[in-house]
Amino acid sequence: MWDSESESIASRNFRNGVLTDNLGVQTDKFEKIGQSWYATADIPSDFIVQIGEISFHLHKVKTLQKSNDLEGIIFESRESDLKKVNLDELPGGHEAFELAAKFCYGIAIDLTATTIAALRCAAEYLEMTEDFEEGNLIFKTEAFLNYVVLSSWKDSIMVLRSCENLSPWAENLQIVRRCSESVAWKACADPTGFKWQYPGEPNDSGPNMSPDWWYEDVSVLRIDHFVRVVTAIKVKGMKHQLVGAAIMHYAMKLLPGMIKDGSSGPIDEGRIVELHANKTDQRMIIESLISIIPPQNDSVSCSFLLRLLRIANMVHVSPALVTDLEKRVGMQLDKATLADLLIPSYNRSETKYDVNLIQRLLEQFLVQEQMESSSPSPSPDQNRTSEGVQRSSDESNAKAVVARLIDSYLAEVSRDKNLSLTSFQVLAEALPESARTCDDGLYRAIDSYLKVRPMLLEHERRRLCRLMDCQKLSMDACTHAAQNERLPVRVSIQVILSEQIKLHNTLANTSIKESDHPQYPQITPFRKTLLQETPQSFQDGWAYAKNDIKTLKFDLETVKTKYLELQHDMEMLQKQTENITKLKHQSSWSSGWKKLSKMTKITSVDNAGIRTQGNIEAGAKTPRRWRNSLS
């Protein structure tokens, strides 16, 4: 602006005919009339600053002495008497300029946590530096920030909130960074949330407060400032469980779709409508939260991840972040609930629920289980065996839990008539056979699917029933399946046979126990007494069960008898078929031989007759002659 920075203030007394030193303006207050502020003085104002609809009637001699920006505007205007300046781009708006103007007039102003950030940015914009006056506004606002605000938890939070409308000035001036660091240090001051202590300090140092005391305070921040605070907290070593809990608290408060009506159940639809109304902001919040979740599995709950995934699909979050979220859910799918898995389909699918999403989550779970089972154990040789057995047991338990969860999910989504048989089959077959120790849940899902689709073809029913193993059904499920008319006949027979085998094995085991343990016969005399003490309802139920077993045995014997009869009839038919075939074969050859024999006989007879007749004729033709001699 100036030819030399060492140029004295006295040489700047006259700029565009403006006298800066010789006119003394004394005022002690500002008055607002309508949309205008006036500096009450004995000299009329000669300079107007317009900010939006608010105007400030000031004196050049006061404002230009402390603001390099205003002096530069007047100097570069090349107008002999510039009386109005527009400062619509001033950070902090007319509220910040009001305080800056009062400072120029020497009026005492109150610096608070709610106004300091805006006033600091306005001072920077107006270039109120030390070059114009010692102890100018930039110096004083910086001192207040460093010595007052950053030493207070509450003031640091308030300044961060006030910085929301001061971008990019607050970022460039490092106000957001400094306040975020201050909040992070104070949040980590609780020893229960900090995983290491300063050297030489006792373990009980720090304030005596709950580890989650800071969750509610930081939840009022805008998402970008919250991310800055959480990032700083993670760098300083806070436990990932506390960081994850803070993220969940923030999401529950800021995302309406994350709040449950009760302990379980679907999301409130009214909050879903609210979520759709501001989809862009919700997308930015979700993408930011996904990026700062700690990588450890137990940092956030699986239920939280699934609800976050539900909203992410709804507002169309970046596919890469959705994939990352699906991997995290798959890593702890065994901790999910059925209500969390019932995610609606938001991609214009025909089905009510997003079955393909659950399929991907299950694949991620199986991939993670495979990686964990194939990864080498870092423990020493003597502990590898026990840890390997424990890990294998945990994996089996996790698969069993997921298998029950998927079976319950299939039973729920099977009521949707738009769910195809292929989708049902693919999801049911995704888990290995070893994951299910009992197929009762899968049977219920199959039965529910058949109940909704009574017109399903026979071969489709058989294809569906091949998903379950009749040997893995409990006695109750076998009893129900044996009487289920929706199942194919072959499946019902398999169920009855399986039930009979189980009864036989149970009776065999019972007899073995009674023969091996002599104490069993001693219990027999008391059975009548125990039966009398048993409630009547239980006795009736047991009587009905015995009758059902007898009926099933009779039905089984009937089926066996019919089967044997059919087998006998089939064998008879086969023998008759073979006999007919042999007879036909023999008749053709015998008729040929008979014809040949007849022809032979006829030929021999004819030849014999011919020879006889020839002899007769020869005898007739050559009769014996008697010679008559004369002597």
pLDDT at 620 over 50: no
pLDDT of residue 595: 56
Residue bearing the bigger pLDDT, 123 or 622? 123
Residue bearing the bigger pLDDT, 464 or 23? 464
CA-based max dimension of the chain: 221
> In which element (H, E) is residue 72 found?
helix 68-77
| Chain-centroid distance, C-alpha 133 | 60
pLDDT at 379 over 70: no
Type of residue at 485: E
pLDDT of residue 610: 44
pLDDT of residue 479: 84
Q: Which whole number is the average pLDDT over 5-21?
A: 35
Q: Which whole number is the average pLDDT over 289-300?
A: 92
Q: Which whole number is the average pLDDT over 362-377?
A: 81
pLDDT at 15 over 50: no
Residue 443's closest CA among 423, 414, 417, 400? Answer: 414
Q: Would you say 18 and 74 are in contact if contact means Cβ atoms under 8 Å apart?
A: yes
pLDDT at 277 over 70: no
Mean pLDDT of the chain: 76
CA distance 230 to 219: 11
37-74 tens-digit pLDDT: 888 777 887 888 899 898 988 888 777 777 877 777 76
pLDDT class for 530, splitting at 50, 70, 90? very low
User: Is the domain defined by 29-151 classed in CATH 3.30.710.10?
Assistant: yes
Lowest mean pLDDT among 17-31, 355-369, 564-578: 17-31
Q: How far is CA 9 from CA 63, 67, 137, 441, in A?
A: 14, 12, 18, 89
pLDDT at 627 over 50: no
CA distance 95 to 100: 9
pLDDT of residue 406: 94
Return the top range by mean pLDDT from 152-161, 266-275, 570-579.
152-161
Residue with the two structure tokens 């300083």:
236
Q: Above pLDDT 70, what percent of the chain? A: 70
